[in-house]
Amino acid sequence: MGAVAAMTIMLTVLVTAIISGIFGMAGGLILMGVLTALMPISMAMIFHGAIQLVSNGWRAFLLRDHISWSVFGRYLIGGVPVMILLAFLFWRPDKNMLYILLSFLAFLPWLPKRWFALDVKQKYHAEALGFVALSLNTLAGVVGPVIDIFFVKSDMTRKEIVATKGATQAFAHLTKAVIWSLPALYASDDVVFPPVWLIIAAIPLSMIGTWIGGLILHRMSDVSFRDWTKWLLTAVGIVYACRAVGLL
């Protein structure tokens, strides 16, 4: 990997960690696109999973007093069966399909909320979130906008939302990194692991960015938090849609 590519990845990790620290998502969506442009998909997924595990896990730790552990526990109930299923599923998306999936996820917040009677605190909704989130996160690399649909109608505060989403996404990214690494057990040429030094160098940047984002979050109102999230995702979605059309 060249020095320019490595520096680009380092800077992107820092900036996207700040974004995720503020909004609880979007940062991972941007990082996935940059990594996919610079790396083979398997390497991008494993690297993204490792970095986002740290970023989301650190964010959840910083806001641990606000995590809804009952929601997280029910999320795991729905997600564990998906882990077992995907471990034996050998289909993986190519870059073109990945950009289409990323674009779709970015535009989800514009769908009318009345279409979704979803509230993560309601019975069976957190379980459904676990099933959907782990499926999409493993195949597309990110799932933040889908998770948001399950939280938007809840009566949780912005800190509770960001903290609980951080915990759920940390588990999802751990699952993704493990499942994309599994073919290596069969000596598959399809798996290309990212350089260990790159992961080690990116982890502190992810933690610093998450901390900075948390400081900004504390100064933001609940209303502006939701508005900025939608417009940021829209910009990202347009970029990925153009990228997908270009590849076609």
Per-residue confidence at 127, pLDDT binned at 50, 70, 90? very high
pLDDT value for 244: 81
Average pLDDT on 159-163 reads: 86
Q: Residue 176 sits in which domain range? A: 3-247
Per-residue confidence at 15, pLDDT binned at 50, 70, 90? very high
The amino acid sitting at 179 is I
Q: How far is CA 87 from the centre of its chain?
A: 19
Domain count, the chain: 1
Residue 49 has pLDDT above 80, yes or no: yes
- Which pTM value belongs to this model? 0.82
Nearest to 199 by CA among 26, 6, 57, 5: 6
Residue 119 has pLDDT above 60, yes or no: yes
Q: What is the distance between the alpha carbons of residues 14 and 55, in angstroms, rounded to a whole number?
A: 10
